[in-house]
Structure 1
Amino acid sequence: MTSSLKYLGGYSPALRQQVQQLIDDGQLGAWLAKRYPDAPAHAIQNDGALYDYTQRLKQQHMRSSVAVTKVFYDARLHVIDNALGQHRFVSRVQGSKLKRKNEIKVSALLKTLPEPLLRMVVVHELAHLREKEHNKAFYQLCQHMEPDYHQLELDLRLFLTLKG
């Protein structure tokens, strides 16, 4: 397969061959447009809206988890680093207390993609509040919050492949 499929390395050869055929036929963009006809029309375009969006998802699925103190878009976070989202756990000593902050940053690229793909990345980062590693429990939690998690992850990789 060509290097244009670098985001699909972990997928089966049969799937990669299907995607390569769509690319060769110039049909990958049309296929994605059919799957996401409203793309990228979502209103989550600034840090405040992203914070509210994340908090709603957290409240809906992970009410008892630790608080998220900051959520923001980061234009420097790029897919080349193999990440479209990151979470940070920051501990600071303030007087005699240890203050813990949980931050999530999301690639600004997701402003231009369909909302379900943004939701998948936010769900992924929220799942790290409970599960630090990418293990079976982590992916079960992702699927609990977003039943189409794995399909959305593949679709996100297809958008990245299309954007080159």
Structure 2
Amino acid sequence: MTNDTTSPYAALRPAAVSALAGELRLACMRISRRVRFESTDLIAPHHFSVMCRLEESPRTPGELAEIEKVSAPSMTRTVAGLVERGWVERTPDPDDKRQVIVSLTDDARKVLKETRRRRDQWMSVRVGHLDPEEQAVLVRATEILRKVANE
């Protein structure tokens, strides 16, 4: 892209890129927060996040703490809460008996599915209220945001 301001595809100047980046980041954070908190009656957001990590593969509490960027004691409390609800189970690590491996239960998988359904429904209602042109912009924006997220 060029800086030719007469072109409808002119590149934004650095200050405008910076302003757009800030606005986009805030909008994404607000949407993310709204979607996360729409289903808190079923599962707390931090529990959902940990369960999604466990859906990828069973992990130790230390691995979960590192991935989630929280302290080990905080993750220990989170895991204990998930065990109490019957959503995760602890098993001894076959390679290191001092460690435990945390994995999802079938009930947890059902909770994840229902939470995702509710979150998708919340978003679907809002996107459904947009006009067709706005929906088309979101289709393109989704492709672009995926590209940005994967850089």
Same fold (TM over 0.5): no
Greater strand proportion: 1
- Larger relative contact order, structure 1 or 2 (CA cutoff 8 Å, min sep 6): 1
Greater helix proportion: 2
Larger radius of gyration: 2
